[in-house]
Amino acid sequence: MTDLEGRTAILGDSRQLTSIFEIIGSILAMIYAMSIALNIGAEMLGFSLLLISSFLFSGWAILDRRWTFLLLQAFYVTSAIIGLIRWA
Question: Tens digits of per-residue pLDDT, 39-64?
Answer: 999 999 999 999 999 999 999 999 99
Average pLDDT rounded to a whole number, residues 3-21? 71
Question: Domain boundaries in the chain?
Answer: 3-87
**pTM, full prediction:** 0.83
Q: Which of helix, strand or coil describes residue 88?
A: coil
Is the pLDDT at 66 greater than 90? The verdict is: yes
Residue 71 banded pLDDT, cuts 50, 70, 90: very high
3-state secondary structure 68-85: HHHHHHHHHHHHHHHHHH
